[in-house]
Amino acid sequence: MNKSAFIKRFNDIFGKGDHRLFFSPGRINLIGEHIDYNGGYVFPCAITLGTYALARLRSDREVHLFSENFEEKGVITFSLDQLAYRKEDGWTNYPKGVLASLIQRGAAINLGLDILYRGNIPNQAGLSSSASIELLTGVILEKMYHLDIDRLELVKIGQEVENNFIHVNSGIMDQFAVGMGQRDTAMLLDCKTLSYERVPLVLGEYEIVIMNTNKRRELADSKYNERRAECEEALKALQTKLAIHELCDLTEARFEANQSLIENETVRRRARHVVTENARTIKAAEALKKGDLKTFGAFMNRSHQSLRDDYEVTGKELDTLVETAWKQEGVLGARMTGAGFGGCAIAIVHRDRAQSFIEAVGRIYRSEIGYDASFYVAEVGDGSKAIEEEEEIQS
C-alpha cells in the first residue's frame, strides 16, 4: 500500500485539502463454523489484508464515495437526506447503511463526506470484505463526527446493516472479528452473550496459510439461508421435549440422547455438526492456550470433516485444497474457513515447508479443478482503526 499514491488519488478525485486515513481488516475463523447464529463459540481473528480509506468532511450534506476496487462505477453520490437502499448504488449500500443506522440512533451527522476506499482482500474470497467496509465506515463516522460510541455497538450496527439493509442473514462473527481484532491474537467469542476472551496466537515455527479456491461463490447466500432454516427446524424438533433456546445449549451427550426427536436425517446431521463443532471449538481454544498446536490442528481437521459430511458446505474445490493440505509434510491441520461453498481454507504449516506446501497444493489443485488457487501467508492484525500521520502502513 503506497500511502502517498493513495493521497494523490484522493486529491485527484476530490480536490486538495485535509484528509484522514483509516484501516479495517478482513478476518479468518480458526474454528467454530456455522456456529454464531446457533449461540455457541467461534474463534476468529483479524488479518492484515483489509480495506483502507481516506476521508474528509464536506461543507454540504452530500456524500461522495469512490472505490478503487470498483473504478468503473466512478464517484457515487447521495445526500444525507436520501439514505434508502438502492440496488444501482452497488457497494456504496454498505457505507450508506452504516450512515443510515447511526443517524437513526440519533448521531449528530449534519455534514456530508468525501471518502476514497481501497481494499486488498481478494474479491469474493469469504474473508469478510463487506464487514470490513461496514466497520471501516463506522470508525470513519465515529472519528470524523466525534461520536461517543462503544466498539461493540459499532459491531452490532455492522451486523444490523448486513441483516436489515443488505438483507444477508449473517451472524455476528465477521463484524466482531473485524471490529475487535488485535494483532497476534484470536478471540474466543461466546455468540450468545458476546462475552469473549483474547487468546494470544503463538504459533512458533508455524504459520497460517490462507488458500483461496478462487471459485465464484454463486448460490452461497441461498445455501447459507437454507442451512439456517435447517438449524431452526432441528431446534424446533428438539424443543418439543427439551428446554433449550439455541442448538449450542446442548452438550454432545445430551444431543446423542435426544437426536431421535429430529426425524429428518439431513436436519439431524446439520444439528450434529453444530453441537460437535461448538464442543470442538472450546477444546481447540484450550489446546492453543496450552501451546498444544498438534491437538489444535487435529480439531481443525475434524471440523472440516464435519462441515464436509454433516453440514455439507465444502464442495469439491475446498475439499481438494484441504485434503491435499492434510497430506503435505509440516502441516498440523487444515480446514475451510467462513461460510463455505467456495471461498477460502486455512492450514497451519511449518514455516520451512510453506513454500513447498504452496507449490504442491497449487499444482494438485490446478490439475484436479482446472484453474489456479491463490495462497497468502496470514498475518494476524488489528481491528478497524484510524491511522495517525506518523504510523507506517503494514502492507
Question: Which of these ranges, 29-37, 293-301, 304-312, 348-356, lies near ligand GLA under the rule CB under 6 A?
Answer: 29-37
Of the two residues 116 and 271, which places its CB atom closer to ligand GLA in the complex?
A: 271
Looking up cell 463506522 gives 138
Distances (CA, A) of 170 to 147, 163, 177: 26, 7, 14
339 in contact with ligand GLA (CB under 6 A): yes
Total residues interacting with ligand GLA, rule: CB under 6 A: 11
CA distance 134 to 84: 16
350 Cβ contact list (under 8 Å, min separation 6): 205, 206, 329, 330, 331, 332
171 in contact with ligand GLA (CB under 6 A): yes
- Considering only 19, 34, 118, 215, the residue that binds ligand GLA (CB under 6 A) is 34
Question: Which of these ranges, 52-60, 169-177, 276-284, 366-374, lies near ligand GLA under the rule CB under 6 A?
Answer: 169-177
User: Using CB under 6 A, which residues numbered 319 to 338 contact ligand GLA?
Assistant: 338
Of the two residues 112 and 383, which places its CB atom closer to ligand GLA in the complex?
A: 383
Burial degree of 196 (CB within 10 A; 0-12, 13-18, 19+) = middle
Q: Is the dihedral of CA 259, 263, 264, 267 positive or negative?
A: negative
37 in contact with ligand GLA (CB under 6 A): yes
Name the nearest CA neighbour of 339 among 32, 3, 5, 68: 32
Of the two residues 34 and 335, which places its CB atom closer to ligand GLA in the complex?
A: 34
Of the two residues 174 and 310, which places its CB atom closer to ligand GLA in the complex?
A: 174
> Which string of x and - marks every residue 129-168 that binds ligand GLA (by CB under 6 A)?
----------------------------------------
Per-residue b/e over 148-182, b at no fewer than 16 CB within 10 Å?
ebebebbbbbbbbbbeebbeeebbbbbbbbbbbbb
Is-contact 301 335, C-beta < 8 A?
Answer: yes
The question of whether 114 is a catalytic residue gets the answer no
Instruction: Kindly name the residue from 36, 114, 174, 249 that is annotated as catalytic.
Output: 174
Of the two residues 99 and 339, which places its CB atom closer to ligand GLA in the complex?
A: 339
Name the nearest CA neighbour of 182 among 211, 151, 208, 205: 151
- Considering only 114, 134, 142, 174, the residue that binds ligand GLA (CB under 6 A) is 174
Name the nearest CA neighbour of 21 among 57, 53, 44, 45: 53
DSSP code at position 165: I
CB of 298 to ligand GLA, least distance (A): 20
Of the two residues 36 and 317, which places its CB atom closer to ligand GLA in the complex?
A: 36
Cell readout for 68 is 478503487
Name the nearest CA neighbour of 113 among 37, 13, 217: 13
- Considering only 21, 115, 116, 173, the residue that binds ligand GLA (CB under 6 A) is 173
Looking up cell 439461508 gives 225
382 in contact with ligand GLA (CB under 6 A): no
227 in contact with ligand GLA (CB under 6 A): no
CB of 132 to ligand GLA, least distance (A): 12
Is-contact 346 357, C-beta < 8 A?
Answer: no
The amino acid occupying position 359 is E
CB of 173 to ligand GLA, least distance (A): 4
CB of 168 to ligand GLA, least distance (A): 7
Of the two residues 64 and 280, which places its CB atom closer to ligand GLA in the complex?
A: 280
CB of 171 to ligand GLA, least distance (A): 3
What does the chain come to in residues?
Answer: 395
Task: List, by residue number, the catalytic residues.
Answer: 174
Interface contacts to ligand GLA, rule CB under 6 A: 29, 33-34, 36-37, 170-171, 173-174, 338-339
